[in-house]
Structure 1
Amino acid sequence: MATENNKRDDSSKDSKSIIDGGNEKEEKKKQKQEDIDNELENSESTDDNRAKTHGEILKQQIIEGQETYDRSSSSILLSSLTAGLEIGFSYLMLCAVFYFFTDKVSEESVFKIIAFVYPIGFILVILGQSILFTEQTSLLSLPVLNKKRSLGSLLKLWGLVIIGNLIGGYLMSFLMVWIGPELEIFTLDSIEKIAVHVTRAESFVIFISAILAGWLMGLLSWLLTSSQDTMSRIIIIYIVTAVMAFTGLHHSIIGNVEVFAGLISSPNITLADYVSFESLALIGNAVGGAVFVALLKYRAFVYNINSVSS
């Protein structure tokens, strides 16, 4: 009987130690989160002429991300649809420049030249404060990493933004396919060649390319937060997106316009081509923005806080 009582006591002690251990871990997690929040709260400078610190940029990005979460679904959908429409002006210029230089220089050179007009739509979207999926990917991930929002709310928000961006792109595609030949600024052949060029790579290549593009767009968002004035923001947008275009990296939103326009105007672009491209580009862009920018930038800040605390 005494032996049984001793076993029960030992079992109770073990259970208690496990519970205490679990509570201790939870307390440590809470303490770490409080340290991170306190450090972010203190990351504020009154000197406008000084470059922003890592913590200041991160704090502002988390705040901006949370503000987007607080917007209504209809507001987010309308803003993202606007971004899908506005990015179409980049496509308008791509087609016009492509058609103008066709037969004047080699096709390979034309695809390099159009990189210089590629940033126009991005400048309109970002400075106009419309919600573009790739520019917002890392921004919207940070409140989740900071435990201010849930993963479910992030996926829901991403879904709304993607839907709005795609619908806006579809509308611009129909408009471009009609108005280009009518104004004689480009032809359906130009649309087809651009679409074929975008989709010609292997699926794995498109996916990795989209990750790099998402990475660049996430860095763009980070750099814009650190910039001080409109002119510097325009230069940053231009440089980053021109690099993306010149190297042929795949962007899911302007790529949506490029490939969908080809789908509705050319037999050489199939529905399977469009779905495959858009799926790979969206996932790749999300990985590039969320993992290589949001996660790494956030973890670098957290590791610095932990090292100081210890």
Structure 2
Amino acid sequence: MKTEKIIGPKEIEEILADQLETGLAEYNRSSSSLFISSLTAGLEIGFSVFLMGIVYTLFHGQMSEAALHIALACSYPIGFLLVVIGRSELFTEHTNLALYPILEKKKSILQLFQLWGTILAGNLLGGFFIGAFLCWIGPAMNIISSEAFVHLADKMLKFDYTVILGSALLAGWLMGLLSWLLSAAKETISRILIVIIITIVIGMGGLHHSIVGSIEIFAGLLLSPEIGWTDYLPVQLLAILGNLIGGTFFVATLKYSHVTRADV
């Protein structure tokens, strides 16, 4: 009788090797292919804002503030599922992925910044497109109120700059861990659960994700005279910086050091 082979979890060295291979593959893609994939991710992740806007419009005033906060957090993963499972390129997944080839001395710092720049530009541009479209279609179909978009923007803008940086650091750290855990997972169901769990934590914490947060603030900017570019730009820059620190140091550098030192 045939016995099924039980496949155990990946060893940590296998996870690092997978992360390194994935990171190198992104460097070897053409700039146009990488940009289009990043643009797609920026568009797709806007569905998180779309669903949160609908939930806020439907339930604001109908449930407690705490219950509404939980409902919004549970809406947060949809865009990430579309992007991550669909294999589009998201900046906050590449803060750590792109660093492993640098730590292995297989790519240069200049190539790192070119990769990050291409992905970030595509994500932000896609986010602007979907944000502007949602600001039109939501109110036009009476499914998302303008107040919903302004609310989502305000909750990103209401903190001091140091708090925003710390919040973005946590979000980048979690997204780096998301990328690491996805390399450890083998089945699609496992990967879906990982995405949902990590991104609900980000949504529940109201953490500053540089791409979703960009769409939220940009939509509020388009609809509220009280939100301007001077509000958007500092918060966006801090979100990018915090996400980078969280992904590069707390995941890529520490995980790499841990694995390589274990081999010594």
1:113 corresponds to: 71
> What are the superposed Cα offsets for residues 32-89 of structure 1, whole Å, 9 maximum, x if unpaired?
xxxxxxxxxxxxxxx7702111100000110010000000000111000000000001
| C-alpha distance in 2 between matches for 1:48 and 1:144 | 35
Q: Which has the higher helix share?
A: 1
Task: Show the counterpart of 2:167.
Answer: 209
Deviates more, 1:184-193 or 1:121-130: 184-193
Query: Structure 1 runs of 4+ off > 2 angstroms?
Result: 106-109
Unaligned regions of 5+ residues in structure 2, if any? none
- Residue aligning to 2:232: 274
Q: Label 1:257 to 1:77 Cα distance change in 2 as closer, same or farther (>3 A).
A: same
How far apart in 2 are the matches of 1:188 and 1:54?
A: 47
Equivalent in the alignment of 1:288:
246
Q: Which residue number corresponds to residue 43 of structure 1? A: none
Q: CA deviation at 1:126?
A: 0.4
Q: Scaled by the length of structure 1, what TM-score is found?
A: 0.82
Give 1:267 shift: 1.0
Determine if contact 1:96/1:186 at 8 Å carries over to the other structure: yes
Residues in 2 aligned to 1:146 and 1:293: alpha-carbon distance in whole angstroms: 15
Number of residue-to-residue matches in the alignment: 260
Q: Distance in 2 between matches of 1:48 and 1:76?
A: 37
Tell me what 1:262 maps to: 220
- Give the CA deviation at 1:117: 1.1
| Larger RCO (CA within 8 A; separation ≥ 6) | 2
Q: What residue in structure 2 maps to residue 155 of structure 1?
A: 113
- 1:32 corresponds to which residue? none
RMSD of aligned Cα (Å): 1.0
- Runs of 5+ consecutive residues of structure 1 not aligned to the other structure: 1-46
Alignment partner, residue 89 of structure 1: 47
Moved more, 47-56 or 117-126: 47-56
Amino acid at match of 2:184: S
Cα offset, 1:270, TM superposition: 1.4
TM-score by length of 2: 0.96
Residue of structure 1 aligned with 2:86, choices 103, 114, 128:
128
Shift of 1:107: 3.6
| Number of the residue aligned with 2:60 | 102
1:78 and 2:42 are equivalent in the alignment: no
**2:205 maps to which residue?**
247
| Paired residues for 1:18-29 under 5 Å | none
- AA partner of residue 236 (structure 1): I
Q: Deviations over 1:271-310 (max 9, x none)?
A: 111001110000100110011000000001121122xxxx
